[in-house]
Amino acid sequence: MKSVILIVVAALSSQTCLGVKYEPNWNSIDSRPLPAWYDGVKIGMFINWGVYSVPSYSNEWFWYSWKGPKPDPRVVKLMEQFYPPTFTYADFAAEFKAEFYDPIKWVDIIKSSGAKYVVLSTKHHEGFTMYPSKYSFNWNSVDVGPNKDLIKYIFAYLAGSDVHFGIYHSLFEWFNPLYLQDKANNYTTQRFVKEKGMAELYEIVDMYRPDVIWSDGDWEALSSYWNATNFLAWLYNDSPVKDTVVVNDRWGYDSRCKHGGFLSCDDRFNPGKLQKRKWENAMTLDRYSWGFRRDASIADFLSMEELLETVLNTISYGGNILINVGPTGYGTISPIYEERFRQLGSWLKVNGEGIYATQPWVHQNDTVTPKVWYAAPKADKKAAYAFFINWPDNNELVLGAVSGSSLSGVALVGSNKTLTWETSGTGIKVTIPPHNIVEMPCMWAWSVKLTFK
């Protein structure tokens, strides 16, 4: 009898108001519900910045493209033509001065973009930490280059705003001798994990208390090599951010697209249909690079139409979108990025009611008109938004997925204009104002609010 009571008490205490205790295995880690803020905010800004922002050519894999096993001839040629033969990649760190870095201006751009979370790189595969890591002696932004902690001011100026602060961190490092030794041992040793890779993550959580941990550089090894479930169990049970933090899925090649928090799968992941799990489309405004490129042309950047199309199809299929900017080595966000982000913000000021705190609707895209996407506010079961990329020539928007019999009204978002509509086939045909700047609430991608009986 006594032992029965004890068992009941034990079972209750592991699952009650004290909270669930997560175990260091994927079943347990995966059972943690994502903190709700993440699904509500939808739009994030990704900032990929590091020593590679100095050569700013090819992409953020510059060092590997130069000295890795399969050198990129363009990168090799650049180095041969313009640098002395004694020049090493580490010498770029001295040129990483971030002399025009103005975190107040960065935070202004972040806030005005409408992004509600930001993910800042603390370390890429080159191993250079953007903060004074005690595990990265002489290869961090305080000891060399900018002589500044490049994380803390962004974090400080965002404090108290509605923008969540997150970090990007690469587990592996291309050329770290400790890592290469573990790799040569077929990952049967874990010195790099203990002394560098994972040690930094504990340090970052302790120093900056991020709400997002965006892990990367996991793919050469199993999650057991990275000791990932041990870290995540600590993060979810005992860390200072245990109630708010969200993580992605890049914790080892057995984990990607399967385990962890939200699914980021591959870069620019965009499955084009509803997913069972929460997912994120991490994508770039520069089609070819996450890091800044000095030789980029305007055509390399997504137009506003292309960006908004990606935003809308991501959100209608239940994803979040994380939009990347690559700042310069001298510390600025270049005007083309700034313009895109401010334009996105102006668009969200008008159309954000159909974006933030929404969920996928019955239909994700329209059955008749191409490039029409839907989303529904979580708080209002009797409403949905239809977004359209192309303003129809005849000012008649056909929505094949909307049944006229259940509809009570249609309004153009941002103008308070009630629109007339009629049944058309299985759907409806909405009369919208003529295509001109006076009538249109914004310049690209519009939406109508559908209200149901």
Question: Interface with ligand NAG by CB under 6 A: which residues?
Answer: 186, 190, 193-194, 198, 227, 230, 272-273, 365-366, 370, 414-416
Which residues neighbour 254 within 8 Å (Cβ) at sequence distance 6 or greater? 222, 223
- Smaller CB distance to ligand NAG: residue 408 or 416? 416
Report the residue number, 120 or 432, with the smaller CB distance to ligand NAG.
432
Residue 414 Cβ vs ligand NAG, minimum distance, rounded to whole Å: 6
Residue 180 CA to residue 127 CA, distance in Å, equals: 13
CB of 88 to ligand NAG, least distance (A): 30
DSSP 250-305: -SSTTTTTTSSSSB--STT---SS--SS-EEEEEESBTT-SS--TT--GGGBPPHH
How far is the C-alpha of 421 from the C-alpha of 432, rounded, in Å? 9
Q: Closest distance between ligand NAG and the C-beta of residue 440, in Å?
A: 11
Assess contact for 145 and 96: CB atoms under 8 A.
yes
Distances (CA, A) of 425 to 366, 398, 422: 13, 10, 10
User: Shortest Cβ contact with ligand NAG: which residue?
Assistant: 230
> Measured from the CB of residue 199, what is the shortest distance to ligand NAG in angstroms?
8
E runs forming strands in 304-363? 319-325, 358-359
- In the complex, least distance from residue 354 CB atom to ligand NAG, rounded to whole angstroms: 15
Helices and strands (H and E) in the chain: how many = 15, 15
User: How many beta carbons lie within 10 A of that of residue 76, not counting itself?
Assistant: 13
Task: Identify which of residues 48 and 447 has a Cβ nearer to ligand NAG in the complex.
Answer: 447
Choose between 182 and 249: whose C-beta lies nearer to ligand NAG: 182
- Residue 69 or 272: which CB sits closer to ligand NAG? 272
Helical H segments across 352-443, by residue range: none
**Residue 123 or 293 having the CB closest to ligand NAG:** 123
Distance from chain centroid for Cα 208? 18
How far lies 89's CA from each of 3, 67, 79, 422, in Å? 65, 9, 10, 65
Query: 334 or 403: whose CB is closer to ligand NAG?
Result: 403
CB of residue 385 vs ligand NAG: minimum separation in angstroms? 16
Task: Give me the least distance between CB of 187 and ligand NAG, in Å please.
Answer: 6
